[in-house]
Amino acid sequence: MVEIINKKKTTLQAINELQGDSNLRPYLGMSQLGHSCERFLWYSFRWCYSDDVSARMFRLFNRGHREEPAIISLLNRVGIYIYDEQGEVVAVHGHVKGHYEGILSGVIEAPKTPHLAEFKTMNDKAFKDITKQGVKLSKPQHYAQMQMYMRKIPLTRALYVAVNKNDDSLYIERVYADDTVANSLFERAESIVLSEEPPEKRYKKTWYECKWCSASGICHNGKEVESNCRTCISCDLMPIGKWECSLHEIPLTTSQQRVGCKKYSKLENL
C-alpha cells in the first residue's frame, strides 16, 4: 500500500493546525475564581463565547502536566511524598469544581502537617515576578485556587512549587489557609453561578486586561453571545451539577447543551 503524502503542507504546519479543547467546560473551575472580573467568569460559565485553544497553547498547558512527575521525583528524594493524587473538590450544587495535584506528607518545614500540593510552570518573566512578590500578589488565581482547595479538603497548608521553563529554577512557598479569603471566594462563586444575568461591568474597554480578554467583544463591543442552552432563557440550573430545559421538560446532557435547539431564546440582559 502506497502512503499518500500531502506535499502542500509541512509537518510543522500540520501540527500547528491542531487545536485543543474548547473552553466550554461543564462547570466553573476553582482555578478561574481568582480572576479579577466577575463578569468574565459569568460569561465563561454561561458559555457566552467559545475560544478554541491553539496547538501551541495546548502544548504549553500540557507542559505543566508533563512536569509533575519530575517535581514529585525531586520531592521524594528529600523525603516528601504525595498521596490522594488528582483529587476533586465540588461546591455550589455541583456547578463549581476543582482538581488538585495531591496531598504531601513530610514537608521539611512542618513534617507532621499535611500540605496541599500545587505545581506550576511559568516563563522567566513570571518566575522573576513571583520570586519577588510571592504567589498571593504575583499569581492571585493560583492563590485563590489553593485557598478553595484547602477549605474544602480541609487542610491548613499548601506547598506551591513553580518551575521556570527557561532554566529549570525552582520557587517554593508554603501558603497558609485563610478561611476569610476562602469563604469570600465561595460566596463569589455562588453569586456567579446562581445569577441569570451578567454582573455589572467592572472595567472600561481600555483597561489592560480587557484588551486580551476572550469575552471583550461581547462585554464592550456588542458582539452576539453564542447560541446554546447555557445562554437560553429555557435552561434552568439544577442540583448536583445538572441542567434542565423548562421548555421541553427534559434534563440536558453537556453535549445537548452545546448544541441547543431550534426554539432557542436568548436570556434577557444579554
The CATH number of residue 164's host domain is 3.90.320.10
Q: Between these two residues, 252 and 19, which has the higher pLDDT value?
A: 252
Q: How far is CA 55 from the centre of its chain?
A: 18
CB within 8 A of 65, min separation 6: which ones?
A: none
Do 235 and 213 share a domain, yes or no? no
pTM: 0.88
Structural domain contains residue 3: no
Res 62: pLDDT: 67
Q: Which of 23-32, 38-47, 103-112, 140-149 has the lowest mean pLDDT?
A: 23-32
Amino acid at the residue 1: M
> Residue 21: is its pLDDT beyond 70?
no
Mean pLDDT score, 68-83: 97
Q: Which of 14-28, 32-46, 138-152, 194-208 has the lowest mean pLDDT?
A: 14-28
Res 23: pLDDT: 60
Provide the pLDDT confidence category of residue 20 given band limits of 50, 70 and 90: low
Do 127 and 154 share a domain, yes or no? yes
The residue segments making up the domain with residue 176 are 13-199+206-223
Provide the pLDDT confidence category of residue 73 given band limits of 50, 70 and 90: very high
> Residue 14: is its pLDDT beyond 50?
yes
Q: What are phi and psi of 96, to 5 degrees?
A: -125, 125
d(CA 78, CA 45): 41
Structural domain contains residue 240: yes
Do 136 and 108 share a domain, yes or no? yes
Count of domains observed in the chain = 2
